[in-house]
Amino acid sequence: MKIYYDDIFFKHEPRGYHPENPNRLKIVKRALEDKGLWKNVVKPKRADVKDLLKVHDEDYVKLIENSCREERFIDSDTYVCRESWNSALIAFGCAIQCVENAVKDKDLHLALVRPPGHHAGRSGIAFNAPSLGFCLFNNVAGAVVKAKEFLDEVLVIDFDVHHGNGTQEIFWNDLSVIHIDFHEYGIYPGSGALEDTDGSKVNIALPHYSNDDDYIYAWNEVVEPILADVKPKLVLVSAGFDAFKDDGLATMELTEKFYAFAGSRLRDFSVVAVLEGGYSIGLKRGLPAFVEGYLEGYDVEGVRPSAKVVEIAKKLREIHDLR
């Protein structure tokens, strides 16, 4: 595994309390250190504005730059400070750098970046969301654009508890970008219904309080046939850990079990995992479980999903013609 990390990300900092704060990365670092996994740390590279413009409109990039200079909130959820511009460029550049390395080096490339990105659409707010949800530039979208230089099809799996509306909007109608999004349906940002697709976007919209077995069942029924069909060399992951039970912003009830399972199911591929959400216990326990699953494998037996999730998976298999 390669860890991409820099203390510079602490400088993107709220003035008062905010769940998306520098302590998140301290939690991750400590959790990986405790497991002896904090090694092979690579310094992230800063992106150029021209890289941002492959994903975002110029007006939006200027709005963010000016807001950082003036330390002006972007919206009620999304703060910036003077240093946020630099952090956001390094986070975006880091995701691109991970792809450049991952196509040559089959491994888990873990981008521990802030600010997060998956809610940021081409010109800001995506799919009528109420806000940018703590995101400035869509880091994983930068990774997708880079990956398209090497691959005919790019696969993104987003298991953050919130719908990756920004990523989905940016690549809507680009059928070469397959985006599978697990999310709690009915919370922020409100998008990502089961039926919503352009042909290559798969919305695993799960009910409140879904647990490990629900997620694992949905993965087996929906993600596995897509992986078998696409046979990706590289998988991009929008890696949020806020679906962990009691992480704080949602009702899902995941534990280490799902994250270890997800990591183990991606062992055959080179993986770029870009940090999205996760605010407390999800970072402490979910993220290391994902890493260990990838490095060591993890077996699951006797999965017992809810009847509702069985129904959802069946519907998704019909919508996307999965066999």
Residues that bind Zn ion (CB under 5 A): 160, 162, 240, 242, 277
C-alpha triplet 272, 273, 277: angle, nearest 5°: 155
Question: Which one of the listed residues 12, 56, 119, 183 is annotated catalytic?
Answer: 119
Contact between residue 51 and residue 144 where contact means Cβ atoms under 8 Å apart: no
Q: Which is closer to Zn ion, CB of 130 or CB of 199?
A: 130
The alpha carbon dihedral of 74, 78, 83, 87 has a sign of negative
d(CA 215, CA 219) in angstroms, rounded, equals 6
Q: Which is closer to Zn ion, CB of 163 or CB of 320?
A: 163
Beta carbon of residue 249, minimum distance to Zn ion (angstroms, whole number): 7
Q: Which is closer to Zn ion, CB of 278 or CB of 293?
A: 278
Q: Which is closer to Zn ion, CB of 44 or CB of 277?
A: 277
d(CA 141, CA 274) in angstroms, rounded, equals 10
259 by Cβ neighbours in 10 Å (0-12 / 13-18 / 19+) ranks as buried
The alpha carbon dihedral of 191, 197, 178, 137 has a sign of negative
- 320 included as an active-site residue: no
Contact between residue 316 and residue 205 where contact means Cβ atoms under 8 Å apart: no
Query: How far, in Å, are 72, 99, 139, 240 from residue 188 at the CA level?
Result: 23, 29, 19, 14
Cβ-proximal residue to Zn ion, closest one: 277
Beta carbon of residue 243, minimum distance to Zn ion (angstroms, whole number): 8
Closest CA to 24 of 237, 271, 275: 275
Beta carbon of residue 211, minimum distance to Zn ion (angstroms, whole number): 18
Q: Which is closer to Zn ion, CB of 97 or CB of 191?
A: 191
Token code pair at residue 208: 């409140």
Beta carbon of residue 16, minimum distance to Zn ion (angstroms, whole number): 20
SS3 209: coil
Q: Which is closer to Zn ion, CB of 133 or CB of 232?
A: 133
Beta carbon of residue 162, minimum distance to Zn ion (angstroms, whole number): 4
Q: Which is closer to Zn ion, CB of 187 or CB of 194?
A: 187
d(CA 44, CA 49) in angstroms, rounded, equals 16
Beta carbon of residue 256, minimum distance to Zn ion (angstroms, whole number): 18
The alpha carbon dihedral of 65, 23, 129, 236 has a sign of positive
Closest CA to 4 of 102, 86, 120: 102
Beta carbon of residue 315, minimum distance to Zn ion (angstroms, whole number): 24
User: Which helix H or strand E contains 270, and what residues bound it?
Assistant: strand 270-275
Catalogue the active-site residues.
119
